[in-house]
Structure 1
């Protein structure tokens, strides 16, 4: 039995969701990856007109920045989004965060007899919500910029190899 999935037009709120921002970025990097058939052609290609847009995106091992380093960095960010960040530093931050959470939890449990602890919990919940919204907004902004950069790199590659008129 075949089921039909309804595709509804996304609302303006859904268009601005983190999920859609991630999908747009991943789609742009996938398009870039499919377009760039010979990534090594991007080596030593100066940023020129793209310098202003891509100047904020630098890898640790490349001080000047060329199109190849941006290509590799965008693919790395896509991989981190799809598979998660797995490195020693991230594991260490996760352990520290869990330790702090446990300490806060035990502290709030021991002081739960007082009336002020309920107020503290409410303030903490509001603070967590504000922090989440702040970081979510920032992440969506970064993803939008990265999407523009991936699209720009794709166009620049096409220009470099002489197929600038395709799929603008």
Structure 2
């Protein structure tokens, strides 16, 4: 049954198969990698360095992408793992590359079936997951993105956010 607004109008949903079909907009892996690098250098991220590494995890090849940018809080992580959200603006005359809210999803899913995002910002530490494997395992009929986030609200108190 479709989720409905308070007026009874069904909300649009995304089928998990969309993650793969959307990724085919990248005809080769290097354009997907470029998409992920571009995100790190948007002016609101302010990354000065970017690293790419390949490692084995339980017999599976894994790529990791890491930057030293500003990091994501709970709301920003959720938007980044959702489709079509982009509130990027120019900062000091530098325009962001991304503007449609699709690059991370298409790029990461072109490179693999699963993406786990670890982020630490000034006030929060978050982990989010965009995973075709997870969605297949739970028999999902729409895309869901599990997120766990610890936000520091005061100097000695943390708030735990769970979103699924």
TM-score by structure 1 length? 0.21
- Structure (1 or 2) with the larger CA radius of gyration: 1
Structure 1 or 2: more helix by fraction: 1
Structure 1 or 2: more strand by fraction: 2
Query: Which structure carries more relative contact order (alpha carbon 8 Å, separation 6+)?
Result: 1
